[in-house]
Amino acid sequence: MTAVEIDRLQRDIADDVYEKTGVILMGIGIYAINTTDVNLAMVQKQVTNLTMSVEHVMQLHGFFFDPESRRMSFDVVVSFDSPDRMETMKQVRRKVLQWMPDLKLRIRMDADLSD
């Protein structure tokens, strides 16, 4: 399998386990960047711009988009300075879905622990 195929498979497994059990799997996975295609790279750039326009968002990483299934996922680093980190995440979700409403969107909150 390619890294993109493995990434897609592990995301499918993690999503299925979460939907069926409420358990978040974090022990498996790789990040495959599937943006070698010009159109996918443009999608990533737009999503990054939308995400970074939300106050208290520090970074977006782990971006993956499968145009066939319309599934997109990525991680967002939200500053601890945010008065409501969950609301910051909701703002990111709203912005992306306003731009591309037919997505099956999964966004994970990450924290900047570098300090």
Q: What's the Cα-to-Cα distance from 87 to each of 32, 57, 73, 92, 97, rounded to whole Å?
A: 28, 11, 18, 9, 15
The radius of gyration of the chain's CA atoms, rounded to the nearest angstrom, is: 14
**DSSP symbol at 24:** P
Query: What is the pLDDT at residue 43?
Result: 93
Mean pLDDT of the chain: 86
Cα–Cα distance between 70 and 101 in angstroms, integer?
10
User: pTM here?
Assistant: 0.72
Contact 74, 63 (CB under 8 A): yes
Question: What is the SS3 assignment for 95?
Answer: helix
Judged by average pLDDT, the poorest of 25-34, 66-75, 89-98 is: 25-34
Q: Is the pLDDT of residue 34 over 80?
A: no
Apex 13 CA angle, 42 and 100, nearest 5? 30
Cα–Cα distance between 99 and 54 in angstroms, integer?
14
**Residue % of the chain over a pLDDT of 90:** 50
Convert the pLDDT of each residue in 36-79 to its tens digit.
678 888 999 999 999 999 999 999 988 888 888 899 999 999 99
